[in-house]
Structure formats: structure tokens, C-alpha cells
Structure 1
């Protein structure tokens, strides 16, 4: 089914590379990756997004830190950091500092068990240069997957036992079993392969459906748990990038987009969109540390 109701536009901003949108604490937050900005999305079309923090490096995605209002764990620069309420940055780990090419962090999310996951990629999208990392609750960072070109997501089932990860450059979404105790992913299976465009940001809903922004097509797709395509939503922007389900009832699909790389961006390329849907999602899971990570953990 293809969506026919025009999406609402939130905010006057047109983002270079809008990503990492999450519904948390009654609002949507998002990143403009290459400018290093963490933003609170506008509620309507007439006001700009509000700046929460400005980092001196690219900022891929954040998750709130449970029990510490105003603190965020973030995929940023060459690793993982904590952002405090004043916008200060404490680095937890920078595993890509010594990479043989320029690498930055990309998308990331907390899982239902309180761990934070984030992917890395080469600036020039060198094949298989990216990795997926997991930040455990005790502050340890582990590289769990290698040889991914552009990792996006991940997204998790409600119980955290299933992880979906997009290998965007290959047009593939893979599904992994995840051990609930260790967080280690098992052997993947191909969940969906896209003939056009690249799967980008993802989220799951209460029926186990998987939503993904499809970069390069101006579309968002919803897949059923068996991998079949259930719904297509058309957007007036060619490069949808990130998405989440939010709003007071969880039934608002919020989608970021980008104008990077477009020689003549359209008026809504880089906008944030809101679309009403039937199946709700849940607020963003928080990172739940056993202790607050930060400067003491800097290598």
C-alpha cells in the first residue's frame, strides 16, 4: 500500500544530513551529522529546530542516559562519548582513531536491555571499512561486526532478541538473533533486499513491523515480520535518512532527510516530516549504565 496523505513539515530548517531522530521525554531529537548538531525538532512548520548541543565533530546519533536527565550517549567523531547538559563532551572510547583511512561514526541506538550500539563508516564509503560497536552497561566497548560499508540502524525487536541492521551500500537489511545475556549477535539472515535506493535509518513498531527510510527514492517502507513489503510512504524529498515513531500516542512517523550531494536541492530536501500511521511504536530506549561513563574511561 502506498501512502496518500501528504506529510506535515516540521521546522524551517533544511538539514545537510538529518539523521538519528528519536522520540524521548515527550519530544523528538535528531542530529545534523556533519555539522555536529543535536537538535530538538520543532512542533510545527513555522519555527526552527532548537539547538541542544554543538559538537566539534560529526554526530551520528544519541540515546538518553537513564537516571541522568540531560545526558546523552552519542555516536560521534571516531567513537562514543557522553554529552552533558551544558553540551560538554566526555569521550568513552575512540576506536577508529587509528583506522587506515578517515572514519566517522554513523547511526546508533540503545537496545531494550540498555546497551548502546553504533556503526562506523569511511568518509569516502570505502567498501567494508565500517564496523558495528556495542557499548555495554559497564562502559566496555566491543567491536561486534566488521566488513560493513555503510551500517545503518540497528533496530531491535521489543524484547531485544532480534536486531535488524542495514548494509546500505549493498541495499540489504539483515536480521540477527541476539543473546540476551551477552548481547552477542548470532548468524544473520537476509531480511529484505531493495532493488532501488538504500535502506537507511530504521525502527520497529508494536506489531513487529520494520520501518526504514530509503535513501535516494523519496520513500519510507514498512516490512512485515516475514520480510514482505507492507507499505510505501512517498515523501517530497529525495533522500530520507532517519526515522522513528513518536508523538503522544506513538502513531506519528517522524522522518529526517538530507540535501547533501544534491546539485539543486528541492524546497523540502533536508526537511523533517511527520506522517500519521496506524500502528504505534515506543519511545527511544535509554542507555542504562551501571555507572555514568565519561572522562575516567578515556583511553
Structure 2
């Protein structure tokens, strides 16, 4: 089987002069806009259009905001925030939330999250102190119920789905691993767990990721200053240098490669640490799936 085509990537430039503490979760929406979060400051932001040149604040929560998914056109957002799944209205107010199950290991927060094609939201939790085994993966269903799908993780990241929705990819940044699971499209049960790739600790750790239209995984390598592209079988296809030490997540728009980065924990951040970066790239990925609109009405 031939390898997927190489995807040329241009030079990176910062989208704005704003620097984030822990930028994450860039998502391409159906209308072509891109939203992202600054996790620890609880902010939901929209990338600027060519006219404004500024990040637009869509919501500012009093707790960490791991990621969002659109809740239908104009209906607000499903959000992984604090230690809960929540519904935010169109102006960013929390109108409903339900906590996930608590894991041992001290105070926790939501980390990254994504929605699947059936409208379910999947999110990882982790301890603030990154205690070993204290992380978990949770699923929020259309009836409002929350299920702990997988425990014993440490820093779950991703998650991301293959274009057909039949495979879930999940990183555990503390262990340098990205694993794959088969997803039952009807029940959302996971099976056939396998290791896809592992990153040597001396080279950084896998953080947020996306899957392109060819099924290849684009992984932000935290601490390594690069984005790596892997085949579904785990073969390294490309490595792209990023002018920031801590890239956190990736978004493909068909015109640009968008990379969020973090200044968090750096004693001497460089000029582009914490920036949202953009480089020309023709690779495509599906737009962010919407959560099931019934979540806005479900009892929690």
C-alpha cells in the first residue's frame, strides 16, 4: 500500500500578538471559523478574520475550560469545563452542567475533549499535579448521562476520531503514547486497544491532535517544538518544526495549519511561546462535529 502523500507546510507566523497561557482545542466550524480555548483562564476564543486581526472572546468561565463543541447553529456550546460537562448558551453563560466521576489523586480538571459524529462528547480529566493514574476518559451521551469509559490514565490528550468515526485515538502525554480503539457506532463501546506510536521523552510528548482526510494523525509534540504526522499504523511520515517550545494542538482548515501553543511553566518564554500560529497547508480534516442538540434540554 503506498504511503499517504507528503503535505507541504509553509512558514509559521503568529495570528495575533496575543499570547495565551495554555492555548488548546482549535476547532474548525462548519462556517469556516476556528475557535480555541485558553484552558487555565477559562476563555473561549475565536480566531480573527482578515478585517479585525484580534482574538474575539466568546466566553469567559470562572474555571478551566478544556474544549468545546458546537451545539447546533446559534444554540451555544457543549463544553468540558472544571470537572463537568456543561451547556453554554450563545453568549457563553453556563445553563446546565453535570460532573464526571472523581478519580483518586487530588484536585482535577478537564483537559482536552472532542465530539463524535453521533453527537457524543468525549473528554479527558487529569489531576492538577499530574498524579500517576489519576486521569480518565469520560463520555457524555445525548440523554445527559456521563460514563467513565477508561481510567488509570495520567494526562489524557486528544482525543480524536478517524474520518469514518470507527477509530478513537487517545494520547497519554505522561507516558508518551498514542493508542487507538475501535468504536462501536451504535453503543460507543471501545475495543481492540492498540499502541499506535510512542514518543521518546527526550523528544517531547504527544499532546493534542487531529486526523486528516487521509486518516493520518497530526500530533503536537509538547516540549519538542514540532508537529508530527503519522500513518494510522504509526509510521512517522513528516516532522514539522514549530517556532514555540510547547505546541499543544493542531487544526487543519484546507488552507492553513493552525497550531496552539503554551507559555505555561516556561521560566523564560520565547517570543512566540503562547502564540496561535498559522502556516500555509492544503491538508484537510473534517469540521468539528456538533453535539446532539438534545443535550441542551436533557435533565442532569
TM-score category (smaller protein): over 0.9
Residue matched to 2:3: none
Residue matched to 1:223: 230
Residue matched to 2:56: 50
C-alpha offsets along residues 250-279 of structure 1, whole Å, 9 cap, x if unaligned? Answer: 242111000011111011000011122243
Does structure 1 conserve the Cα–Cα contact (< 8 Å) formed by 2:42 and 2:61? yes
User: What is the CA–CA distance in structure 1 between the aligned matches of 2:208 and 2:131, rounded to whole Å?
Assistant: 20
- What are the residue-to-residue correspondences of 1:58-137 with 2, within 5 Å? 58-66=64-72, 68-96=73-101, 101-137=106-142
- Give 5+ residue unaligned stretches, structure 1: none
Residue matched to 1:208: 215
Does structure 2 conserve the Cα–Cα contact (< 8 Å) formed by 1:61 and 1:74? yes
User: What is the CA–CA distance in structure 2 between the aligned matches of 1:254 and 1:5, rounded to whole Å?
Assistant: 11
Question: Could you tell me which of 17, 21, 29 is aligned with 2:26?
Answer: 21
Secondary structure at 2:267 match in 1: coil
Question: Could you tell me which of 30, 35, 42 is aligned with 1:36?
Answer: 42
Comparing 4-13 with 200-209, which one deviates more in the overlay? 4-13
User: What is the CA–CA distance in structure 1 between the aligned matches of 2:17 and 2:76, rounded to whole Å?
Assistant: 26
Does structure 1 conserve the Cα–Cα contact (< 8 Å) formed by 2:9 and 2:280? no
User: What is the CA–CA distance in structure 1 between the aligned matches of 2:229 and 2:136, rounded to whole Å?
Assistant: 25
Does structure 2 conserve the Cα–Cα contact (< 8 Å) formed by 1:65 and 1:288? yes
C-alpha offsets along residues 26-70 of structure 1, whole Å, 9 cap, x if unaligned? Answer: 21100000000000012469833110000010001000012x514
User: What is the CA–CA distance in structure 1 between the aligned matches of 2:127 and 2:51, rounded to whole Å?
Assistant: 34
Runs of 4+ aligned structure 1 residues displaced above 4 Å come to 1-4, 96-100
Alignment of 1:185 with 2:190, yes or no, is yes
Question: Could you tell me which of 139, 143, 146 is aligned with 2:144?
Answer: 139
Question: Could you tell me which of 285, 289, 296 is aligned with 2:289?
Answer: 285
The normalised TM-score by structure 2 is 0.92
Question: Could you tell me which of 4, 7, 10 is aligned with 1:5?
Answer: 10
The normalised TM-score by structure 1 is 0.92
- Mark the CA change 1:260 to 1:291 in structure 2 (over 3 Å): closer, same or farther: closer
Matched positions, count: 292
- Provide the alpha-carbon RMSD of the alignment: 1.9
Residue matched to 2:278: 274
